């Protein structure tokens, strides 16, 4: 693995070396078939084995009970913003908690298909805060409560999930799924775009309680219907075969290192390297409030937007790439998903120290 950089991109993002090595080994000739997984029919016996094993491994790694369906769908997490409206909201009312850009988009999309009540909106604190229970204005007649578990752009994350008073909880976990243990039973549905902790772009993974799957609104496109996807085991049409295979490789790697418990331990250690440094100095300013900090996306600014630009370009020269913050927040963002090794966070902090020394006037 020569000439590899530490890639702090928010997604698509780094893959673990062990995963890439296996993809490479199997690229030209998967298990003596004489072809790559990308060239196989999704109906072939060999591919169906990959498909089923990937689902089984996901069930094991996340401890997903049998009364939950696993669906691989098209359209990314954004497709799910609409699918939830079409399959679950269906003219009813739902509560949406707005903690960033993606939860806002989820609410806007769902509002096309029913009544969306905003139970909280963090715009006044520029989404630096995850609401406490008493800040949520939940409605008694909501069919479900929707949250975004980790806010990729702003760098905030729910530490514990809200008490939704017996309602169905739906979470967009695009940027923190597989980073730690979660109790799937606490959710009616969990969904994620795969291009961060689950591999590469091309699938949305949906983990949904079977009782929530029923006939979608009449005009629902077939590829967004949970009922059709369930009936056809996510093969109503050609699924994104290679991203599903990569997810399988990522899950194998997670199991080998010790599962989500070990993954979480590593992620906490990595994030602590960055946050401990940020808390020990005055040059950089972290964006997220302490209690709301994300383990996956660390957001901060230097004293001057021009220095932010210089920081990102100087860091890149040292093999620390994609540190520019999202255009909505500015500043800098280090995305330290599962695949980022501790050494990457340590090298970044070392660079930060040097940069602060040189530019603190």
**Taking the complex as a whole, how short is the minimal distance between the CB of residue 88 and ligand PMP, in angstroms?**
17
**Number of helices followed by number of strands (H, E) in the chain:** 9, 14
Smallest distance, ligand PMP to C-beta of residue 183, A: 20
Q: Please tell me the distance from the alpha carbon of residue 196 to that of residue 176, in angstroms, as a whole number.
A: 8
Which candidate, 259, 71, 289, places its Cα nearest to that of 179? 259
Least separation in angstroms between residue 115's CB and ligand PMP is 22
Nearest CA to 176 among 204, 198, 202?
A: 198
**Distance separating alpha carbons of residues 210 and 199, to the nearest angstrom:** 25
Min dist. Cβ of residue 170 to ligand PMP (A)? 12
C-beta closer to ligand PMP: residue 174 or 338: 174
Q: Tell me the closest approach of the beta carbon of residue 141 to ligand PMP, in angstroms.
A: 26
Q: What CA–CA distance (Å, rounded) separates 37 from 46?
A: 9
Using CA atoms, how far apart are residues 175 and 160, in angstroms rounded to an integer? 16
Which of residues 19 and 240 has its CB atom nearest to ligand PMP in the complex? 240
Q: Please, how many CA atoms are within 13 Å of residue 68, restricted to the half-sphere of its CB?
A: 23
Cβ atoms 145, 94 nearer than 8 A: yes
Q: Which of residues 172 and 308 has its CB atom nearest to ligand PMP in the complex?
A: 172
Residue whose C-alpha is closest to residue 93's, from 115, 119, 113: 115
Residue 73 or 228: which CB sits closer to ligand PMP?
73
Residue with Cβ nearer ligand PMP (152 or 302): 152
Q: How far is the CB of 10 from ligand PMP (least distance, A)?
A: 6
Q: Would you say 78 or 125 has its CB closer to ligand PMP?
A: 78
Chain positions contacting ligand PMP, by CB under 6 A: 11, 76-78, 102, 148, 152, 172, 174-175, 193
Length of the chain: 361
> Which residue of this chain has its Cβ atom nearest to ligand PMP in the complex?
76
Of residues 340 and 352, the one with the C-beta less far from ligand PMP: 340
State the nearest-atom distance from the C-beta of 89 to ligand PMP, in Å. Answer: 17
Phi, psi of 197 (to 5 degrees): -85, -5
Alpha carbon distance 265, 245 (integer Å): 26
With a CB cutoff of 8 Å and minimum separation 6, the contacts of 358 are none
């Amino acid at each position: 693995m020569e000439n590899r950089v530490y890639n702090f991109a928010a997604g698509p993002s780094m893959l673990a070396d062990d995963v890439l090595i296996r993809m490479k080994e199997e690229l030209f000739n998967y298990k003596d078939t004489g072809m790559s997984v990308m060239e196989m029919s999704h109906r072939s016996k060999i591919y169906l084995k990959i498909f089923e094993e990937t689902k089984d491994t996901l069930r094991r790694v996340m401890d997903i009970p049998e009364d939950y369906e696993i669906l691989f769908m098209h359209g990314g997490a954004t497709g799910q913003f609409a699918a939830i409206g079409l399959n679950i909201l269906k003219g009813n009312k739902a509560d949406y908690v707005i903690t960033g850009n993606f939860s806002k988009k989820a609410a806007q999309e769902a509002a096309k298909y029913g009544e969306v009540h905003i139970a909280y909106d963090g715009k006044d604190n520029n989404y630096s805060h995850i609401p406490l229970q008493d800040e949520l204005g939940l409605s008694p007649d909501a069919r479900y409560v929707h949250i975004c578990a980790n806010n990729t752009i702003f760098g905030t994350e729910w530490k514990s999930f809200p008490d939704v008073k017996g309602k169905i909880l739906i979470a967009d976990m695009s940027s923190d799924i597989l980073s730690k243990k979660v109790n799937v039973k606490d959710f009616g549905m969990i969904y994620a775009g795969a291009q961060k902790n689950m591999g590469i772009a091309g699938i949305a993974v949906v983990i949904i309680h079977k009782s929530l799957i029923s006939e979608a609104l009449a005009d629902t496109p077939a590829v967004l219907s949970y009922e059709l996807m369930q009936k056809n085991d996510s093969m109503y049409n050609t699924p994104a075969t290679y991203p599903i295979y990569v997810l399988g490789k990522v899950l194998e790697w997670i199991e080998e290192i010790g599962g989500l418990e070990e993954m979480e331990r590593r992620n906490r250690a990595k994030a602590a390297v960055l946050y401990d440094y940020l808390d020990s100095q005055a040059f950089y300013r972290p964006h997220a409030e302490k209690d709301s900090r994300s383990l996956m996306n660390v957001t901060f600014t230097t004293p001057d937007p021009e220095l932010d630009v210089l920081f990102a370009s100087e860091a890149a020269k040292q093999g620390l790439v994609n540190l520019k913050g999202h255009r909505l927040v500015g500043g800098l963002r280090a995305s330290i998903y599962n695949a980022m090794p501790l050494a990457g966070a340590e090298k970044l902090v070392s660079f930060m120290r040097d940069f602060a020394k040189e530019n603190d006037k």
